[in-house]
């Protein structure tokens, strides 16, 4: 009011009193921003320390708190509140740098001459009519920047270069996002082979870990890699683990032991997201492994006798391969690759640890949503898994049919050999060696397993399930995409478009 009314002497008198009092209040702020220390027993400063120590990776988020009133307002003068976050983070920067051994109080690395906060600096001549609040904010912000920018930059560079943040992100992509196909196939093939052979020790953590370390040894620090199965997964029968991607594969956990400074950025909250993405990719790999395991020419000599069944089988197998590869293409090229590139770019531009944490958290949420792993798409995701299970069901039906067909052909061959090479002097040899069970075997329709439903019936059932699930997925994705305006909704619409081509009914000639 004194300034507005032109009483400049009173204005200067009041301003000098304010500056003098503020410099007293500035002492705990200076101690915090320059040394990362708090005055013991101080109840005035708006930064407080937790009564108990926390693990190093939680220091940034849990060791220190902003002191607030009962109504959640910051315990600080209103004119300081815009700078409170930078003051708070500057002190935490010092605390972390001390932990890393990168801070020396007298170091010139971040000792920059700070501007004085006196009346002459705040209110230079010629600006008598400028609002005091604007002059103070500009001067105080300059003072804050001399202490905040240097510590933030030093800590940021230490995380990137010395603590290995980039290599940690590379490792997470290799292990959880399966970015290296060769290494991933080396490890998953060992796991899937154990499941297919009904090896009861498939979940042995030492075996899983050793194979994973061998597979990824050239890509990550193998001493940090371990693989285990959750206690619930250990109780799953191996037969169930083999027959469904939903049974045991989600219980497999890949662990990469991150250094504590990196765990400040890649927080514990993101672990479940990494696990869910890894589980989906592993389930997809399982279906592709089963479909590729059978070679097209394995039954070259027998396919000709059951052309209808074999044509139907190969058509259905092709549909499932198409679905799996389409889903894999979507996840890799439209979800993981672009989001990883965007995250790295934004991480480079992050100005402090808080910004880096936000970048990674937003990245994980975006990937989870676009990969259909969010809660809104649970029915669609379950339908995906049902379709992956159809791949296992198809190959099991074909394996059983091939075994029965081979047994039938072997039996026919044995009888033919006996008929063509009778023992001299023993007429009627065929009637002596062919009993009623042999006749019943010969009368069985071709391709019919001894137990279970006929092969053609099993194929038609799988085909019906595949078409039904695919229609539900395409319709569901489009409905959810229309109902939301999020960025990921556009990706869901693209996925529906990619899958829509599979909804065309094929003219196979089978009823």
Counting the structural domains of the chain, the total is 2
If DSSP codes are grouped into helix, strand and coil, which group holds residue 126? Answer: coil
Task: Using alpha carbons, select from 350, 457, 349, 469 the residue that is nearest to residue 400.
Answer: 457
Task: Based on the fold, state whether residues 127 and 221 are members of the same structural domain.
Answer: no
Task: Based on the fold, state whether residues 182 and 105 are members of the same structural domain.
Answer: no
Task: pLDDT tens for the chain, 511 residues: list them.
Answer: 555 455 566 767 877 888 888 888 888 998 999 889 998 888 888 999 988 889 999 999 999 999 988 888 888 888 888 889 999 999 999 999 999 988 766 445 555 667 777 777 777 666 666 777 778 788 888 888 888 888 999 999 999 989 999 999 999 999 999 999 999 999 999 999 999 999 999 999 999 999 999 999 999 999 999 999 999 999 999 999 999 999 999 999 999 999 999 999 999 999 999 999 999 999 999 999 999 987 655 555 455 566 777 888 888 999 999 999 999 999 999 999 999 999 999 999 999 999 999 999 999 999 999 999 998 999 999 999 999 999 999 998 888 876 776 666 666 666 666 665 555 555 543 433 344 444 444 444 443 444 557 888 889 999 999 999 999 999 999 999 888 877 788 899 999 999 987 555 444 444 4
Question: Is 222 a member of any domain?
Answer: yes
Q: What per-residue confidence (pLDDT) applies to 220?
A: 94
Task: Based on the fold, state whether residues 114 and 206 are members of the same structural domain.
Answer: no
Cα–Cα distance, 234 to 228 (Å, whole number): 10
Look at residues 106, 130, 162 and tell me which one is the last residue of a structural domain.
162
Q: What per-residue confidence (pLDDT) applies to 133?
A: 77
Look at residues 162, 189, 213 and tell me which one is the last residue of a structural domain.
162
Task: Based on the fold, state whether residues 86 and 229 are members of the same structural domain.
Answer: no
Task: Using alpha carbons, select from 357, 360, 363 the residue that is nearest to residue 338.
Answer: 363
Task: Based on the fold, state whether residues 119 and 41 are members of the same structural domain.
Answer: yes
Structure tokens, 493: 């619409």
Question: Is 195 a member of any domain?
Answer: yes
Question: Is 278 a member of any domain?
Answer: yes
Question: Is 148 a member of any domain?
Answer: yes
C-alpha 401, offset from chain centre: 39
Q: What per-residue confidence (pLDDT) applies to 6?
A: 53
| Pairing assessment for the beta strands 225-229 and 252-256 based on DSSP bridges | antiparallel
Task: Based on the fold, state whether residues 319 and 395 are members of the same structural domain.
Answer: yes
Whole-number Cα distances in Å, 21 to 17, 24, 244, 455: 6, 5, 72, 90
Q: For residue 468, what are the contacts with CB-CB under 8 A and spacing of at least 6?
A: none
Q: Tokens 């595949």 label which residue?
A: 466
If DSSP codes are grouped into helix, strand and coil, which group holds residue 458? Answer: helix
Question: Is 235 a member of any domain?
Answer: yes
Task: Based on the fold, state whether residues 274 and 410 are members of the same structural domain.
Answer: yes
Q: What is the helix (H) or strand (E) element at residue 48, kind and residue range? A: strand 47-49
Look at residues 162, 182, 204 and tell me which one is the last residue of a structural domain.
162
Task: Based on the fold, state whether residues 139 and 195 are members of the same structural domain.
Answer: no
Cα–Cα distance, 140 to 275 (Å, whole number): 46
Question: Is 59 a member of any domain?
Answer: yes
Question: Is 121 a member of any domain?
Answer: yes
Question: Is 433 a member of any domain?
Answer: no
Task: Based on the fold, state whether residues 180 and 80 are members of the same structural domain.
Answer: no
Task: Based on the fold, state whether residues 245 and 126 are members of the same structural domain.
Answer: no
Cα–Cα distance, 316 to 395 (Å, whole number): 11
pTM for the complete prediction? 0.85
Give the phi and the psi of residue 72 in degrees, each rounded to 5: 70, 15
């Amino acid at each position: 009011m004194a300034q507005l009314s032109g009483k400049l002497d009173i204005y200067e008198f009041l301003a000098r009193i304010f500056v003098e009092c503020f410099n007293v209040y500035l002492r705990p702020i200076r101690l915090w921003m320059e040394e990362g220390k708090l005055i013991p027993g101080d109840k005035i400063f708006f930064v407080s320390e937790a009564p108990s120590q926390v693990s190093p990776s939680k220091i940034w988020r849990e060791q220190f708190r902003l002191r607030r009133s009962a109504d959640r307002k910051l315990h600080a003068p209103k004119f300081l509140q815009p700078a409170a976050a930078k003051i708070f983070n500057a002190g935490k920067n010092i605390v972390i740098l001390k932990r890393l051994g990168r801070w020396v109080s007298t170091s010139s690395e971040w000792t920059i001459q700070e501007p004085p906060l006196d009346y002459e600096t705040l209110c230079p001549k010629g600006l008598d009519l400028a609002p005091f609040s604007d002059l103070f904010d500009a001067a105080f912000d300059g003072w804050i920047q001399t202490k905040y920018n240097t510590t933030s930059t030093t800590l940021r560079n230490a995380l990137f270069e010395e603590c290995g943040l980039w290599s940690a992100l590379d490792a997470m992509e290799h292990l959880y996002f399966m970015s290296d196909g060769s290494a991933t196939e080396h490890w998953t093939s060992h796991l899937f082979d154990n499941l297919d052979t009904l090896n009861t020790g498939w979940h042995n953590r030492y075996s899983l870990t050793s194979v994973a370390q061998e597979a990824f040894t050239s890509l990550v620090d193998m001493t940090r890699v371990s693989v285990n199965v959750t206690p619930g997964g250990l109780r799953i029968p191996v037969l169930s683990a083999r027959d469904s991607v939903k049974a045991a594969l989600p219980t497999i956990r890949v662990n990469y032991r991150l250094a504590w400074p990196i765990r400040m950025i890649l927080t514990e909250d993101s672990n479940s997201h990494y696990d869910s993405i890894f589980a989906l990719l592993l389930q997809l790999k399982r279906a592709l492994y089963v479909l590729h395991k059978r070679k097209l020419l394995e039954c070259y000599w027998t396919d000709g006798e059951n052309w209808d069944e074999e044509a139907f089988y190969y058509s259905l197998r092709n549909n499932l391969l198409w679905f799996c590869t389409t889903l894999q293409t979507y996840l890799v090229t439209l979800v993981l690759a672009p989001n990883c590139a965007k995250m790295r770019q934004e991480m480079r531009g992050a100005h402090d640890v808080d910004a880096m944490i936000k970048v990674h958290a937003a990245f994980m949420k975006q990937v989870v949503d676009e990969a259909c792993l969010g809660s809104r798409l649970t029915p669609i995701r379950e339908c995906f898994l049902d379709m992956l299970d159809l791949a296992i069901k198809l190959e099991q039906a074909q394996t059983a049919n091939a075994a029965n067909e081979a047994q039938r052909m072997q039996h026919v061959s044995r009888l033919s050999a006996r008929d063509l090479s009778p023992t001299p002097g023993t007429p009627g040899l065929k009637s002596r060696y062919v009993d009623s069970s042999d006749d019943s075997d010969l009368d069985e329709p071709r391709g019919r397993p001894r137990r279970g439903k006929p092969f053609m019936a099993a194929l038609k059932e799988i085909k019906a399930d595949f078409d039904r699930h695919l229609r539900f997925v395409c319709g569901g994705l489009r409905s959810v995409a229309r109902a939301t305006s999020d960025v990921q909704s556009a990706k869901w619409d693209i996925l529906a478009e990619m899958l829509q081509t599979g909804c065309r009914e094929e003219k196979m000639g089978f009823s």
